Amino acid sequence: MVHGQKIMNKLKFIKKKNSGRDQTGQVSVRHQGGQHKRFMRVIDFKRDKTGVLGTVMGIEYDPNRSVDIALIHYADGQKRYILAPDGLKLGDGVNSGKDADVKVGNALPLSLIPVGTFVHNVELNPGKGGQIARGSGTSAIIQAKEGEFVHLKMPSGEVRKIRAIGLATVGVLGNADLKNRRFGKAGRKRNMGIRPTVRGVAQNPRSHPHGGGEGRSGIGMALPKTYAGGSAVGNTRNKKKYSNKYILQRRKAGKHS
pLDDT digits (tens, 9 = 90+) for 179-192: 999 999 999 999 99
68 plus 172 within the same structural domain: yes
- Say what percent of the chain tops pLDDT 70: 91
99 plus 226 within the same structural domain: no
Please check whether residue 247 lies inside any domain of the structure: yes
Task: Report H helices in the chain.
Answer: 2-10, 186-191
Please check whether residue 182 lies inside any domain of the structure: no
Please check whether residue 186 lies inside any domain of the structure: no
156 plus 231 within the same structural domain: no
235 plus 126 within the same structural domain: no
Considering only 196-200, 216-220, 221-225, 248-252, which range has the smallest mean pLDDT? 248-252
pTM for this one? Answer: 0.85
The tally of domains found in the chain comes to 2
Euclidean distance between CA atoms 256 and 148, whole angstroms: 22
Give residue 257's pLDDT.
Answer: 44
Give residue 251's pLDDT.
Answer: 82
In the structure, what pLDDT confidence band is assigned to residue 5 with cuts at 50, 70 and 90? low
Mean pLDDT rounded to a whole number for the chain: 91
Task: Report H helices in 128-255.
Answer: 186-191
Structural domain of 140: 2-177
pLDDT greater than 80 at residue 211: yes
Give residue 140's pLDDT.
Answer: 97
47 plus 86 within the same structural domain: yes
Please check whether residue 187 lies inside any domain of the structure: no
CATH code, 55: 2.30.30.30
pLDDT greater than 80 at residue 2: no
For 86-104, letters b (16+ CB in 10 Å) and e give bebeeebebbbbeebeeeb
C-alpha closest to that of 124 among 173, 155, 159, 161: 161
Euclidean distance between CA atoms 232 and 223, whole angstroms: 8
DSSP-derived letter for residue 60 is E
Report how far apart the first and last C-alpha atoms of the chain are (Å, whole number).
56
**216-240 residue pLDDT tens:** 999 999 999 999 999 888 876 766 6
pLDDT greater than 80 at residue 177: yes
Give residue 233's pLDDT.
Answer: 87
**52-77 residue pLDDT tens:** 999 999 999 999 999 999 999 999 99
